[in-house]
Amino acid sequence: MVIAERPTQTTNIAKQVIDAASAVHRNLSTPVLYEHAVRRGEGKLLQGGTFVVRSGERTGRSPKDKFLIKSPTISENVWWGAHNQPMSEDTFEHVRAKALAYLADRELYVQDCVVAQDPNYQRTVRVITEEAYHSLFARTMFIPAPEKESVESPDLTIVHAPFLHLGGADDGVNSDAVVALHLTEGIILIAGSAYAGEMKKAVFTAMNYYLPLEGVLSLHSAANVDPRTGRTAVFFGLSGTGKTTLSTDPERLLIGDDEHAWTDEGIFNIEGGCYAKVIRLSKDAEPDIFATTHDFGTILENVIFDEATREPDLDNDSITENTRGSYPLDLLRNVYEEQVAPHPSHVILLTADAFGVLPPIARLTNEQALYHFLSGYTSKLAGTENGVTEPQTTFSPCYGAPFMALNPTVYAELLEERLKATGAKVWLVN
């Protein structure tokens, strides 16, 4: 297996894009980004200070438009197929040139961030976008770089051109949108989709490549800690299966709601924020998440609201079933403050089996756990991907196949090592 080196070309593209811009706004704070977004008409302010936006035609991820660049140094490691479609370096250069030409002479927003709470595994990320609210999203979901630390050469650069529409086959892609990851150069290029989740999941895909090659198990999961016992629980599951709801428990401390990594020392959150489904969110059933829908610093994506009162209508799915709220972890009451949490005592596989094939709950042996982890029998829920309007049975290895850059057996072997070393109990919950 080829061990991934830190990318070397990411600084070059960042400099090219920034040098050609008409104006560049670097590392603006949340209040200033609010002001810019309102002035530019990117969204509206709601009660309590949330900022509501619409992502346009694409209200979920576009998995058929995701590509990994097939460079010689990574091709033997990547799990090529429907989730990781190969793109030639020539095609990528063509699309990159088109994106750079599109962004030239535009007003741009730059955010320097890091991902991974554990400093031993952190990577720096520079996000360059044409929208203030997408810069705010990056600042919310990732971890803002410390003000005193200069990010001279980021490990990853996201070039985000949501309103550049490509020419499909003429540009070597499948539609007018693309999410292209050049992991050797450390470049993520997103065009044709304003759905903010594409940025988050593209970085997660990159981390799912880099971390396992360092012996770290990356997880599509939520996690929390019991403050009385110090015991950690991890919740695996596809998007929309309940990870955020179950992990945001008023009796426990939230580590994170979607992306984690498990090392020899414990478990840590890859992100700095949450990206929760908010459709039909209940104040009584989910009070902590509900409260964020009325907090300054939260972005509500594709949520309908009352024009007069500016109250969000969380029951309205007229735009999409996949309404989302992006909020920083510090808006929640019960958050785990340390960088690394203890090893999980319980691992829970959320199957979200919409057709009742699996039992409501079952305790699994390690062998059974690995079988279910690799097969990933579950459901795609409405709205999480473009074109998915009702639950669909699917097999999603690692409970996150769209984001797994390596062969699922790589993650399974690491999971087996962690389960044996820690004695964590594994549960299947439907």
| Residue 61 falls in the annotated catalytic set | yes
Single residue among 214, 231, 262 that ends a domain in this structure: 214
Q: List, for residues 280-297, the tens digit of each pLDDT value.
A: 999 999 999 999 999 999
- Tokens for 385, please give them: 């991907």
What count of residues does the chain have?
A: 430
Same domain, 228 and 189: no
Determine, yes or no, domain membership for 311: no
- Check whether residue 238 and residue 103 sit in a common domain: no
Distance CA 114, CA 314 (A): 31
Q: Same domain for 147 and 263?
A: no
Q: Is 66 a residue of the active site?
A: no
Q: Is 243 a catalytic residue?
A: yes
- Whether 418 is a known active-site residue: answer no
Write down the catalytic residue from 50, 239, 293, 320: 239
Q: Which of 58, 160, 220, 343 is catalytic?
A: 220
- 58, 61, 98, 139: the catalytic one is 61
Which of 171, 183, 203, 194 minimizes the C-alpha distance to 93? 171
CATH value at residue 18? 3.40.449.10
346 touches 427 (CB < 8 A): yes
Query: Could you report the per-residue pLDDT of 66-113, keeping only the tens digit for each?
Result: 999 999 888 788 999 999 999 999 999 999 999 999 999 999 999 999
Judge if 224 and 106 occupy the same domain.
no
Q: Which of 258, 260, 343, 353 is catalytic?
A: 258
pLDDT at 149: 61
* Nearest alpha-carbon partner for 53 in 121, 112, 120, 132: 132
**208 and 341 fall within a common domain:** no
User: 1 in a domain, yes or no?
Assistant: no
User: Residue 405 falls within a domain, yes or no?
Assistant: yes
Residue 40 annotated among the catalytic residues of the structure? no
pLDDT at 360: 92
The distance from CA 50 to its chain's CA centroid, rounded to whole angstroms, is: 20
DSSP code of residue 386: T
Q: The domain spanning residue 361 has which CATH number?
A: 3.90.228.20
Question: How many CB atoms are closer than 10 A to CB 370?
Answer: 18
DSSP class per residue in 161-210: ETT----GGGGTSSSS-EEEEETTTTEEEEES---THHHHHHHHHHHHHH
Q: Are residues 195 and 111 in the same domain?
A: yes
Provide the pLDDT for residue 2.
43
Task: Write out residues in the chain with pLDDT < 50, as ranges.
Answer: 1-3
For 11, 31, 169, 323, the CA distances from 34, given in Å and listed in that order, are 28, 5, 37, 20
105 and 32, same domain (yes or no): yes
**Closest of 38, 56, 57, 36 to residue 46, by C-alpha:** 38
Known catalytic membership, residue 326: no
> Distance between terminal CA atoms of the chain?
36
Regarding whether 143 and 251 lie in a shared domain, the answer is no
Residue 370, in any domain of the structure? yes
DSSP string, 199-259: HHHHHHHHHHHHTGGGT-EEEEEEEEE-TTT--EEEEE--TTSSHHHHH--TTSEEEESSE
Output the CA–CA distances (angstroms, integers) from residue 425 to 18, 231, 421, 422, in the order listed. 50, 12, 12, 9
Q: What is the pLDDT of residue 9?
A: 65
Name residue, tokens 């058929």.
64
**Catalytic hit among 139, 243, 260, 418:** 243
- CA proximity to 215, closest of 261, 184, 181: 261
Do residue 114 and residue 239 come from a single domain? no
Q: How far apart are CA 322 and CA 276, in angstroms?
A: 9
- Nearest Cα to 236, choosing from 63, 20, 424? 424
Assess if residue 306 is contained within a domain.
no
Question: Which position among 134, 324, 380, 418 bears the catalytic label?
Answer: 324
For the record, the structure tokens of 241 come out as 């299966």
6 annotated active-site:
no
Which one from 201, 260, 343, 372 is the annotated catalytic residue? 201
pLDDT at site 238: 86
Among 197, 214, 231, where does a domain finish? 214
Structurally, how many domains does the chain consist of? 2
Q: What is the domain range of residue 363?
A: 217-274+335-429
**Positive or negative, the Cα torsion across 140, 143, 147, 151?**
negative
420 CB contacts (<8 Å, ≥6 apart)?
A: 366
Could you tell me the two tokens for 176?
A: 């007018």
Q: How far is it, in rounded angstroms, from Cα 350 to Cα 201? A: 19
Print burial letters for 188-217: b (CB count within 10 Å at least 16), e (below 16).
bbbbbbbbbbbbbbbbbbbbbbbbbbeebb
What pLDDT, on a 0 to 100 scale, did the predictor assign at position 1? Answer: 42
Same domain, 243 and 106: no
Catalytic status, residue 112: no
Closest CA to 92 of 11, 185, 203: 185
In the block, tokens 């999941």 appear at 201
Domain closes at, from 183, 199, 214: 214
Measured in degrees and rounded to the nearest 5, phi and psi for residue 330 equal -75, 0
Residues 259 and 189 both lie in one domain: no
pTM for the whole structure: 0.94
